Amino acid sequence: MEVYRLWWLHDARWYQGVAARYGQDVANEINAEAMRFVATRVGKQVARAHGEPVTDAATLAKLYERCADIMFPNELRDGGVTALDDELLELTMRQNFAVVMVRMAGSLDGYQCPCTEIHAGWSDGLGVTLTENRATGCLRHGDPECRLLMRIAERRG
């Protein structure tokens, strides 16, 4: 856990430095690009470990959950991924460490959550094409939890 804490401290300081020098729009854009890059790597790692094509949404939900566990340990988040039907998955988070840290740094007003870019990266890595990837609730906006929908168009793999 100490490695995660120190890495998140670095990340928060980096974000604040970019935002102060170049503006929060640039910080948000670079943050989303970096998170998607890491998420794609994590998705590929999870897909390799799983080792077989995914044929059902319940298994895919478990793979997305594994991606979340690797990037954000349970000590830093509270949530899960559920298959709502054969094509639609919902990710929920009742606690989001990044939002807490951005709020504490006083940058919440201009911060844009990179959640959909993270899910797009996981999907790329897992060999999944999404037709829908959107937030329906966000802790950043004061909702009781983040709720994100991912509609699966195709499983490559």
pTM for this prediction: 0.89
Question: What is the CATH architecture of 2-155?
Answer: 2-Layer Sandwich (3.30)
CA proximity to 147, closest of 135, 139, 157: 135
User: Is there a contact between 4 and 78 (Cβ–Cβ < 8 Å)?
Assistant: no
122-142 pLDDT per residue, tens: 999 999 999 999 999 998 888
Q: What percent of the chain has pLDDT over 90?
A: 62
Boundaries of every domain in the chain = 2-155
74-118 pLDDT per residue, tens: 777 788 999 999 999 999 998 887 777 777 777 788 889 999 999
Distance CA 44, CA 24 (A): 30
35-45 pLDDT per residue, tens: 999 999 999 99
Distance CA 144, CA 157 (A): 36
Q: Give 4's contacts (C-beta < 8 A, 6+ positions apart).
A: 73, 75, 76
